Amino acid sequence: MLDTMAEVMKAAYERGWISTRDGNVSLRRQHRPYLYVTPGGARKNQLTSESMLKLEFPDDIDQPQAWKCMTRVSDEYQDKIIGLKPSGELPMHYLLQKRIPVPNRVVVHLHPTHITAAMYAGYDLREIAQQFPELNLHTKVGKSVGPVLAQSQELGEAVYAGFEPDSAGNLAYDLIGIHLHGVVAVGADPWLAYLHIELMNHVCEIVIASGGFRPTLTFR
């Protein structure tokens, strides 16, 4: 699945959804003490499975900033790269991966052009999604998160709350927007999370092109 993580980031770059330095993805397998995440600042169009950082997951630490305790597992290939470190959005990935109780969970954060443009123009992503039955059948879209500082603990908390988890941690939605900061999607594998984003981006492109849907932007 690490290969697939790299493929998804390359696909996002090729579609113009991220620059070479943007975007991030993480993977956690249930009952495994590790988190795999894209490295910060790495060229996303050149990622491979060997690029994914393997971090020890402090599952036994119950505190808001436990992500700071994560350490990278030594790797012969990665050890040769000076300054290699996890994505700056590690706080968000850690919170989501720790609190979502499923066998395999992938979290993808991208800046898709038409989704971000729609939010900038004042459109409500959830309201748009509800107008398109096919999208709403496959992808559940929650209310967007308002402006929150990137790469922060607060962003992680806001995104997790935006997915509206139930008492067991199961999420009500597959995708939520972050105002002027793209989207976060979750799935059992990287391509499923990518598909949620692709479908939403396609619908936003249609809506913007039509000019027939009145923006009604609201946040959680």
Q: Which two tokens stand for residue 159?
A: 């995104």
Q: What is the pLDDT of residue 214?
A: 64
Angstrom distances, CA of residue 99 to CA of 55, 93, 105, 116, 164: 17, 10, 11, 27, 12
Whether residue 38 is contained in a domain is answered as yes
Residues of the chain with pLDDT under 50: none
DSSP state of 182: -
Q: Are 204 and 117 in contact (CB under 8 A)?
A: yes
61: containing domain: 2-210
Give the residues across from 72 on adjacent strands: 55
The bridge status of strand 53-56 relative to strand 34-37 is: antiparallel
Residue 30 pLDDT = 76
pLDDT recorded at residue 103: 66
Q: Within a domain: residue 216?
A: no
Residue 186: per-residue pLDDT: 96
| pLDDT at residue 79, rounded to an integer | 59
pLDDT at 147: 87
What's the pLDDT tens digit per position in 68-87?
Answer: 777 778 776 565 565 678 89
Query: How far apart (Å, rounded) are the C-alpha atoms in residues 44 and 61?
Result: 31
Return the pLDDT at 212: 64
In this prediction, residue 66 carries a pLDDT of 77
How many domains does one find in the chain? 1
pTM: 0.90
Render pLDDT for 22-39 as a digit per residue (tens, 0 to 9). 999 999 987 788 899 999
Q: Say how many CA atoms lie within 13 Å of 207 toward its Cβ.
A: 27
For the stretch 51-62, pLDDT in tens is: 899 998 876 656
CA distances from 90 to 68, 71, 101 (A): 9, 12, 18
- What CATH number did the domain enclosing 84 receive? 3.40.225.10
Tokens representing 214 are 């009145």
Q: Is 122 within a domain?
A: yes
In a domain, 184, yes or no: yes
* Residue 155, pLDDT score: 94
Determine, yes or no, domain membership for 215: no
